[in-house]
Structure 1
Amino acid sequence: MEIKKAYLSMIKAFPGGWDAMAAALGMSRDALENRIYERKGQSVLVETALQMQAFSGTTHFAEAVAQGSGGVFLKLPSGGDHDREELLDKFNELYAELGDLSTRFKESVADGEIDKREREGLTDAGQHIHRTVQELLTLTFQIYCRRDRAADQN
């Protein structure tokens, strides 16, 4: 996800859209648009982007930064009571995503070439798989690993 697309997605996810997001940030809609579309030498500060992300209840900005850096953003499951059924659900999600990647791959290489759209689709599918694997491992460790005794003492 590109940074600008992330901004637009966060605005769309915020109840009331552009006008409400601008007001929440303490600026006019024009001021927000100028920053998003980089008019008049303006741009969105990282702090503003993080605030937009918090207001929208999304992780779009973090995802865009991670992807732009050649990585993947992963929001890990929070600590708490997780069970083996959740772990099974995560394994099933991973299997489905692997099937999706396999299907996309087969369709993408059918003509002997991967175009830009196909590459984006394969990349997205791969990033979903990375996220799911990390979530699966986090759940596994939360369910099956003993807590660190030092953490219990604090």
Structure 2
Amino acid sequence: MGLRNAYLSMIRAMPGGWDAMAAALGMSKAGLENRVYERKEQRMHVETALAMQALSGTRRLAEAIAQESGGVFVPLPEIATSGREELFDKQQELLSELGDLFGRFREFTVDGELDARESVRLQRLTDEVHRGLQEFMAIALQLYKRHHIAGEDGR
């Protein structure tokens, strides 16, 4: 995606586009354009980019940074009140995704190699498994992590 594309995407996602985003950030449209396109020795500050992400209601900045870092952005799930049931559901979903990944791997490698399409498909499935694992752990930690009690020494 790239950072500039993330900025442009967040601006497009903002109702009112460039003018509305610039006004919400307290700058002129020209000032915002200078930062996005790095004109007149101006650059986008991290705080401004984070504000753009919040104003646009997207996760484009986080996704772009993760991608440029060789990773994938995994948003943490919000926990419903029926947390243990949600954890069990997530566990079953994760096991299913793992089974799908291994089944596809077996299917794709029966000829002794992976073509480009097969590699892309396996990478997508792997990314889904990683997301599922992160979501599972986020739910599990929120449900079962011991919380510090005032006066407790932490042992």
User: Secondary structure of the residue that 1:74 maps to in structure 2?
Assistant: coil
Partners of 1:53 and 1:133 lie apart in 2 by: 25
Percent pairwise identity? 50
Quick one: which amino acid aligns to residue 59 of structure 2? T
- Residue of structure 2 equivalent to 1:114: 116
Residue 90 of structure 2 aligns with which residue? 90
Determine the structure 1 residue equivalent to 2:150: 153
User: Bigger radius of gyration, 1 or 2?
Assistant: 2
1:91 and 1:46 map into 2 onto residues whose CA distance is 36
1:109-148 to 2 correspondences below 5 Å: 113-114=115-116, 119=120, 123=123, 126-143=126-143, 145-148=144-147
Q: Are residues 6 and 124 of structure 1, via their aligned partners in 2, closer, same or farther at CA, if it must alter by over 3 Å?
A: farther
Letter of the 1:147 partner, please give it: R
8 Å Cα contact 1:101-1:122 kept in structure 2: no
Q: TM-score by structure 2 length?
A: 0.68
Who is 2:44 aligned against?
A: 44
The amino acid that maps onto 1:153 is A
Q: Which amino acid aligns with 2:22?
A: A
Q: Give the corresponding residue for 2:12.
A: 12
Gaps of 5+ in 2: none
**Is the partner of 2:135 in helix, strand or coil?**
helix
- The worse-fitting range, judged by mean Cα deviation, of 82-91 and 67-76 is 82-91
Q: Distance in 2 between matches of 1:101 and 1:34?
A: 48
- Unmatched 5+ stretches in structure 1: none
Task: Provide the C-alpha distance between the structure 2 equivalents of 1:47 and 1:67, rounded to a whole number of angstroms.
Answer: 19
Q: Given the superposition, is the C-alpha separation of residues 44 and 146 from structure 1 closer, same or farther in structure 2, using an over 3 Å criterion?
A: closer
- Give secondary structure in 2 for the equivalent of 1:153: coil
Partner of 1:25: 25
TM-score by length of 1: 0.68
Distance, in Å, in 1 between the alignment partners of 2:146 and 2:51 is 33
8 Å CA contact 1:82–1:139 kept in 2: the answer is: no
Is 65-74 or 87-96 further displaced after alignment?
87-96
Opposite residue 133 of structure 2, the aligned amino acid is V
Q: Distance in 2 between matches of 1:6 and 1:95?
A: 33
Q: How has the CA–CA distance of structure 1 residues 97 and 32 changed in structure 2, closer, same or farther, with 3 Å as cutoff?
A: farther
Higher helix proportion, which one?
1
State whether residues 53 and 61 of structure 1, in contact with CA within 8 Å, keep that contact through their aligned partners in structure 2: yes
Q: Secondary structure, in 3 states, of the residue corresponding to 1:41?
A: coil
The root-mean-square deviation of aligned C-alpha atoms, in Å, is: 3.5
